[in-house]
Structure 1
């Protein structure tokens, strides 16, 4: 079901629900704020106008752009002086990568490692063209890593497949994977053609990964979680599943790069 078809009663339920989730979607047009109640996608608006390369959340929002890293303040988004960035994340503070360096922010930037072509940061791991690294620059294996999930179990999306960390990196599925996300009890990963969900929670064995039947076409650009599961396509369709199937709504925003919730 598309949320353009939400009934008047459903809209009233959305408007009155106190526990609504706020999702933030990074796009080439800016950072979109999307209000979601369970699986009903409500109003959305641009919080920041300008190209977004990556977005992360940990209490505050951080936005990577082609010219700088922006950090949310009470007055809005403030420039930090990092310069062009390719990825942002949080691990004991704000971490950002760009132009061959990984740096931590604390009233200024301190370089903590030199890593080329960083694509994603999650917890204490970094995905880059050369593989997966710790945030001190120590390589921990694999090649051509496109995304990494380290907030619960450790997963990596690479050009050779989807991997989980057990006694070394073990392949869960073959293919060119571009997106991976995980939280306690749930995990998803995407190729250009399909979204996969881990059907079991036995992380030590990698789990059984099964294709997800989505109601729309389009390459998945990111997945995020709270009580529900959220996904967004590169062409700007926002999807939500609170346990009764996927609902979706087009945001009409191009060049989506990711989604976070808080």
Structure 2
């Protein structure tokens, strides 16, 4: 069993920006957004950075500017720079239930469009939202939030959207894929790719879907990894993946043929136990780490040597997203 957070010294907790670099986990909850800083599996400071209910959260990396934090809320899409101070600005006014980072596929199957948020609205609309800061916003230091230029493009609609990840959308009527489409007026199209009652999707690397009847991977059609009540799934694009099926946490370790091989069936996964007797409801990946957050508000981190954990003092967890800081 991984050591409990009480076994980690105060000094260890402070050294969360050491050789492994600092990663921030943003945990969306019904009471606000909590940020937890860690380095590898050493968990450091945590604080509540917003106090408005957050339905979902995503981090959009940018090459020449600070990453963007996107928050799905009943007021719309809220955006902030990823920085020490988080100050979200509402940039769309239609209630949002799910958000992901673009990773749309082109007509020939290649990836494109990873420079935008993809959001799902309460009414089922799927929008591609590009957000740019003004020329001097990234360097402003006067305490005011930056100005954003926003372009929102409606791609299509689904029934009861639940999650967005890369090019995939999970909805009550199954899994849908976003594709760059030069023939469409918007330049993008949305197509159903099967299954029913999709609760979550992982669009990095091998497409994965968690549904009411099981966990699936996309081989020659959707292939069953394990039957049961699958609720959440996450992947890092390098063959690592985690999922919850019937309350059990399953882990797939990375392999070189993770995107092209046929080894995503049940034998490729192992069951693991968190260091707390709680069910994971949100999963995510950062540089070299897997993260699981429980419904009771415990954040667990695995950097390859077992799980460590920290109680963050919030309940009603809805999602987690990770940002590399240093």
- Report TM bin, short chain: over 0.9
Q: Which residue of 1 aligns with 2:151?
A: 108
Q: Which residue of 2 aligns with 1:76?
A: 87
Q: Which residue of 1 aligns with 2:139?
A: none
Moved more, 106-115 or 162-171: 106-115
Q: Between Structure 1 and Structure 2, whose CA radius of gyration is higher?
A: 2
When residues 216 and 152 of structure 1 are mapped into structure 2, their CA distance, relative to the original with a 3 A threshold, is same
Moved more, 59-68 or 3-12: 3-12
Q: What is the root-mean-square deviation of aligned Cα atoms in Å?
A: 1.9
- For normalisation by structure 2, the TM-score amounts to 0.76
Which structure 2 residues correspond to residues 114-153 of structure 1 after superposition, within 5 A? 114-135=157-178, 136-153=189-206
Q: Which residue of 2 aligns with 1:249?
A: 310
Select 2:101's aligned residue among 79, 90, 105. 90
Contact residue 14 and residue 45 of structure 2 kept, 8 A: no
Segments of 4+ moved more than 4 angstroms: 15-18
Give 1:185 deviation, angstroms: 2.7
Moved more, 59-68 or 201-210: 201-210
Give 1:39 deviation, angstroms: 1.0
When residues 242 and 200 of structure 1 are mapped into structure 2, their CA distance, relative to the original with a 3 A threshold, is closer
1:214 aligns with 2:299: no
Contact residue 80 and residue 108 of structure 1 kept, 8 A: no
Give 1:109 deviation, angstroms: 2.3
1:65 aligns with 2:73: yes
CA–CA distance in structure 2, aligned partners of residues 200 and 10 of structure 1? 28
Contact residue 191 and residue 219 of structure 1 kept, 8 A: no
CA–CA distance in structure 1, aligned partners of residues 254 and 152 of structure 2? 41
CA–CA distance in structure 1, aligned partners of residues 16 and 217 of structure 2? 38
Q: Which runs of 5+ in 2 are unaligned?
A: 62-67, 103-112, 131-149, 179-188
Q: Which residue of 2 aligns with 1:259?
A: 320
1:224 aligns with 2:284: yes
| Deviation readout 1:104-160 (Å, 9 max, x if unpaired) | 223232211011211111111101000000123310000000011111111000001
When residues 8 and 235 of structure 1 are mapped into structure 2, their CA distance, relative to the original with a 3 A threshold, is closer
Q: Which residue of 1 aligns with 2:214?
A: 161
CA–CA distance in structure 2, aligned partners of residues 16 and 200 of structure 1? 25
| Deviation readout 1:60-87 (Å, 9 max, x if unpaired) | 1110012211011477211012321110
| Deviation readout 1:228-255 (Å, 9 max, x if unpaired) | 2111111110001122211111000111
Give 1:199 deviation, angstroms: 4.7
- For normalisation by structure 1, the TM-score amounts to 0.93
Q: Which residue of 1 aligns with 2:244?
A: 190
When residues 17 and 205 of structure 1 are mapped into structure 2, their CA distance, relative to the original with a 3 A threshold, is closer
1:51 aligns with 2:59: no
Select 1:178's aligned residue among 207, 219, 231. 231
CA–CA distance in structure 1, aligned partners of residues 201 and 7 of structure 2? 35
Moved more, 120-129 or 99-108: 99-108
